[in-house]
Chain A
Amino acid sequence: MALQPAAGARDLNPQQVEKNHSLSKKLAEVYKKWGYDEVSPPRVERLATLMAGGAIESKEIVHLVADEPLGLRPEMTASIARAACTRLSERPRPLRLWATGTVFESKQADEGGIRIEEKLKSGVELFGVKEVSAEMELLSLLLKSLEALEINQENKPQILIGHTEIMDLILKPLSNKERIQVKRLLIEYDHLSLERLNIKQDILDTILNFIQLRGLPNQIIQTLKQEFGKSTVLNNLERVFNHIEPLAQANGISLQLDPSFQPHFNLYNGLVFQLVCEGKSSPIVLASGGRYDQLVERCGGDISNSYGVGFSFSIDDIRELLPERNVSNQYPQKLLIAFDQNNSLEKALLRQTSCHLKGEKAIVELEPCKNENEATQLIALRGCTDLIWIGN
């Protein structure tokens, strides 16, 4: 059997690579306009850094055989946060950084053994802002990025938004032990196990109402205000939504506030969100993000200034979702330079250079052709559009 790539490893064809570059470039241009600087975090990190946020379990990391515990990064936020708290600690805040690169996740394969999933991500991190202004910038940037990617109504994009402090308000009447259990069941949407919990009926009824509660942000905020009274978190959320709702509407993106929504990770401690689009057969998460102050603190950040928010796009998933029209073809014309027995390869290569200087895409047929007719037949075979024939 021919040698195959490892299960889960990406092995892309040229069109897929080009599409990935094109999508990453579009995003990079938006990030740069918003004043974000590019960083390139290492693919290999100490396990202590990768697991600092408490979000990643050891089994999710591809471990490396080395003298110290090392692994391949399953996401980039921890590495960027480490850099922000160490090498870049002297840089003034707010510190705006972006990065693009591959991440590696270790998963248990159905047939047993380990499967390594390799994915291309592109995202931003904003450090040093405690106030809700960080979330406002982050979500505005997310919406602008979607515009650049040309993700629109056709793809039925929705941003699901939750907040860990709303979850805390819901869980407040419970004991510490109950809180952990109920939080897990709410996140997993395990209605049946919630119903069977041995807790006071009125509290249980409220929790069962919350698992059903989601919808237009301002309506949900009003419902939450009626339940919990006024609170800073709800006022802040109201401000965020008042700002981003018109932007989202203009781009055909729907927003949904979901009090029981939180990604499984314990990474976030504030606003959390996922951008979901309708795929061919199931919903696809294209981006996720939120606030992760605790991670910044664990990375050694100055306690008085340990604040961070960010999001990350999954480029491979966007590539699979978007139709071909979204890839700009930089070189619509591809020339084939062919020559006959009486001319030389050297001459063809010189001709190729002159094409390149004119900004044209050109390849050389390395062996001489018998005649122009034979060269013409090669145009389609070499994926070209036109022929430059060097012959007598």
Chain B
Amino acid sequence: MITVALAKGALLKDSVTSFANAGLDFTAVLDPDNRQLMVPSKCGRARALLVRNGDVPVYVAYGQAQLGVVGYDVLREHQMPVAQLIDLGFGGCRMAVAVKESSGYKRAADLPPHCRVASKFTHCAREFFDDLDLPVELVHLTGSVELGPMTGVAEAIVDLVATGRTLRENGLVAIEELFQSTARLVGHPLSLRLDRGELRTVLEDFRLQEKNSVEL
């Protein structure tokens, strides 16, 4: 049986739609009354695990789920050994460095050395500032990162930006982009190699969807 790890939250609805188009119907997980964390597909060929965003690559890397859907931002942050298979296109956002609008900084390299940078994505931030050769002190926050520069905890933040509205409403501005992120279909490399056709059929249906959406 195929096991699929799906992230609760913003990506869930589109993930379920993509899998439904590939022949695996997990719409039961969208039922507001659903409290089950392991839900079988209508056809009985597969089951979905409902997990937190950051846990999707963990379930896939350990082989407990053969497939999963997760944002590229999470893959970059967690660096787990999972195979990236298809860019699903939804859940688009960008990882960016943002500062107070009034700070006068125009690009990340303008930040003073050893300044504090707040982020949930400390691995991505560390990689970015190391590439810039700019030493910074990273402050790990688990949410409402925008408060960092506003309260003085940090000079800048590294965070996901979708529309930019939250930044604007909190007097912040994005000055540099680290990367664009979209939802990715990922797989367990060893399971993909051992597959006797079950996973290949699902992946072919996903690719067909991808092709059709490009043609449209």
Contacts and interface: CB of A to CB of B under 8 A. Distances in A.
Interface of A: 158, 160, 188-193, 212, 214, 256, 258, 261, 276, 281-283, 285
B27 interface: no
Contacts of B64: 281-282
Nearest to A158: B194
B190 A285 contact: yes
A276 B192 CA distance: 13
A258 B195 CA distance: 12
Nearest to B87: A192
B55 to A, nearest CB: 11
Given A160-B193, A258-B193, A282 B62 contact: yes
Given A282-B62, A282-B64, A192 B84 contact: yes
A212 B203 CA distance: 11
A258 B192 CA distance: 11
Contacts of A193: 84
Contacts of B62: 282
Given A189-B83, A192-B86, 20 more contacts: A160-B194, A188-B83, A188-B189, A189-B187, A190-B83, A190-B84, A191-B86, A192-B84, A192-B85, A214-B193, A256-B193, A261-B193, A276-B190, A281-B64, A282-B62, A282-B63, A283-B63, A283-B190, A283-B191, A285-B190
B188 interface: yes
Q: Name the prevailing secondary structure of the B interface residues.
A: mixed
A329 to B, nearest CB: 33
A214 B194 CA distance: 9
B205 to A, nearest CB: 15
Contacts of A281: 63-64
Interface string B122-166: 000000000000000000000000000000000000000000000
Nearest to A264: B81
A191 B85 contact: yes
17 contacts: A188-B81, A188-B83, A188-B189, A189-B189, A190-B83, A191-B83, A191-B84, A192-B86, A192-B184, A193-B84, A256-B193, A261-B193, A281-B64, A282-B62, A282-B63, A282-B64, A285-B190
Contacts, number: 43
Most interface-central of B62, B81, B84, B189 (chain A CB within 10 A):
B84
Contacts of B84: 190-193
Contacts of B194: 158, 160, 256, 276, 283
Contacts of B85: 191-192
Contacts of B192: 189
A282 B83 contact: no
B125 to A, nearest CB: 16
A254 to B, nearest CB: 10
A188 B192 CA distance: 11
A281 B60 CA distance: 12
A191 B184 CA distance: 11
Contact of B188 (A158, A261, A282): A282
A213 to B, nearest CB: 11
Contacts of B187: 189
Interface in B75-90: 81, 83-87
B138 to A, nearest CB: 14
A260 to B, nearest CB: 8
A189 B188 CA distance: 9
Contacts of A190: 83-84
Contacts of A191: 83-86
Contacts of B193: 160, 189, 214, 256, 258, 261
Top 5 closest pairs, chain A to chain B, by CB: A282-B63, A189-B83, A192-B84, A189-B189, A191-B85
A243 B97 CA distance: 60
Nearest to A215: B196
Interface string B166-196: 0000000000000000001001111111100
A210 B125 CA distance: 35
Contacts of B200: 212
A165 B105 CA distance: 52
A194 to B, nearest CB: 9
Contacts of A192: 84-87, 184
Contacts of B191: 282-283
A283 B196 CA distance: 13
Most interface-central of A158, A189, A192 (chain B CB within 10 A):
A189
Contacts of A261: 193
A193 B84 CA distance: 7
B216 to A, nearest CB: 19
A51 B185 CA distance: 35
Most interface-central of A158, A188, A276, A282 (chain B CB within 10 A):
A282
Contacts of A256: 193-194
Nearest to A261: B193
Most interface-central of A158, A190, A192, A256 (chain B CB within 10 A):
A192
B200 to A, nearest CB: 8
A282 to B, nearest CB: 3
A190 B191 CA distance: 14
B192 to A, nearest CB: 6
Interface in B33-84: 62-64, 81, 83-84
Nearest to A281: B64
